[in-house]
Amino acid sequence: MSTDPSMAAPVRLEPVRRFLNTLDVESGTDAITDTAGLATWLTGADLWHGDALVTEEELRHARDLRGALRAAATANHDKAALPAPVRSVLDAAAERAGVRIRFTPDRGWRATTGVDGVDGALGELVLRVVGSMTDGTWPRLRICARDACRWAFYDSSRSGTGKWCSMQLCGNRAKQEAWRGRRRETG
Ligand SMILES: [Zn+2]
């Protein structure tokens, strides 16, 4: 994991990137292992201001959604197809949030969530993904390709082919590991 600010996503997508990073593989921590953790995170992210308790079922839903979005961000590396189980979790999240289209006076439209609570808050994250897919920024949200890291980062490189959250840290380490692996094989 790197705290390099250059890996931040555009404003619309940044809360999604942070949601994916509630799981920190490198340090082995997870901010949403229990209902209180999820409530704290959603409140801190300004997505939810409920005073009701988060249920175990909502926690499961949040963790499923995070897993699906992490898988989707991993698929962004090589434009891989989204597996059906990932799509059904995303579809279900939109459904639970009562996502709907509202037309606006400026001859446009916007998508909104139709429910409050945790489902609505998670639906807001899904809508941000949808917005990002629409404006073309989504393919640049990725999971770091170094297995020990897997930090979600936004690839702002010109080529748009970044594999690691940080070339200095993970990129070099991954290359060293590959080099050592090759040396083991040949020697
Ligand atoms: Zn990394």
169 has a pLDDT exceeding 90: no
Q: What domain count does the chain have?
A: 1
Which CATH number does the domain housing residue 157 bear? 1.10.3300
Average pLDDT of the chain to the nearest whole number: 92
CB 142 within 8 A of CB 74: yes
CA of 14 to the centre of ligand 1 (A): 17
187 has a pLDDT exceeding 70: no
Residue 100: phi and psi, rounded to 5, are -145, 165
Neighbours of ion ligand 1 (CB under 5 A): 144, 146, 149, 151, 165, 170
CA of 140 to the centre of ligand 1 (A): 15
Q: Which domain holds residue 119?
A: 5-186
Give the integer Cα–Cα distance in Å for 30 and 67. 12
So what's the pLDDT on residue 175?
84
Sequence-distant (6+) residues with CB within 8 A of 35 are 53, 54, 55, 56, 58, 59
For residue 178, count other CB atoms closer than 10 A to its CB. 10
pTM above 0.95, yes or no: no
